[in-house]
Amino acid sequence: MNIIMLGAPGAGKGTQAEMIAEKYGIPHISTGDIFRMNIRENTELGRKAKVYMDRGDLVPDELTTNLVSDRIRKPDCGKGFILDGFPRTINQAECLEKELKELGLAIDHAIDVDVPDDAIVRRMSGRRFCPRCGAVYHIEYLKPAKEGVCDRCGTELVQRDDDIPETVQKRLDVYHAQTEPLIGFYNERGLIRKLDGTREPEEVFSEITTLLEAK
């Protein structure tokens, strides 16, 4: 089962991808997480990606497509995978299609988690994360036991540079201009499964599992 998660940044696709990965035992591949791990480890890729990420722009395709192409060839992808945050441009989608074809594979479902922009801005600007272990919280919806401190490792929580309100707006503009056209791309291929992402995560997840198991 090869799945793509579409939807604006902050629509909750990462949370859903995590839940799908756990239920079906397939890897959750988040390009954003891979870039953030590289930033934490101060690799060359991390240093290059950070410049774009901090201002809300997309990391250039040549830095992104190779990374995904290597990842989907790893043995743990044998039963399938969930791509979260990739593809984000038509060019990336075309590269992925070509790569998968070479491997004799194809995408089975493109899940579009739909949330209006104003709700996204509220969600994202309240997000906090642990710079040490990567755990994610929210000042309204997912509070840590002690305000401002990571439950897992006790580190002080911070706001991601790309979650500050001006950058969130920029990321939404980039999403509408460059990523939303992918809905048309996958719709033409009969793969779009659109869901209302404003509901509780468990409700969204239950609809996703029904969709995945219907085919």
Supply the residues annotated as catalytic. 13, 88, 127, 160, 171
Nearer to ligand AMP, 116 or 154 (CB): 116
Q: How far is the CB of 175 from ligand AMP (least distance, A)?
A: 9
CB of 112 within 8 A of CB of 118? no
| HSE-up (13 A, CA, CB side) for residue 43 | 10
Nearer to ligand AMP, 70 or 147 (CB): 70
Q: How far is the CB of 38 from ligand AMP (least distance, A)?
A: 11
Q: How far is the CB of 114 from ligand AMP (least distance, A)?
A: 16
Where on the chain is the footprint of ligand AMP (CB under 6 A)?
Answer: 9, 31-32, 35, 52-53, 57-59, 64, 85-86, 88, 92, 162, 171
**Phi and psi angles of residue 28, each rounded to the nearest 5 degrees, phi first:** -95, 115
Closest CA to 106 of 1, 16, 197: 1
In the bound state, the residue with its beta carbon closest to ligand AMP is: 32
Residue where the block lists tokens 């036991």? 145
Residue where the block lists tokens 């029904």? 210
Q: What is the CB neighbour count within 10 angstroms for residue 146?
A: 10
Token digits for 26?
Answer: 């397939």
Nearer to ligand AMP, 81 or 206 (CB): 81
Q: How far is the CB of 210 from ligand AMP (least distance, A)?
A: 25
Nearer to ligand AMP, 54 or 147 (CB): 54
Token digits for 74?
Answer: 């790893």
Alpha helices, DSSP H, located in the chain: 13-24, 31-40, 44-54, 61-71, 90-102, 117-125, 165-174, 181-188, 201-214
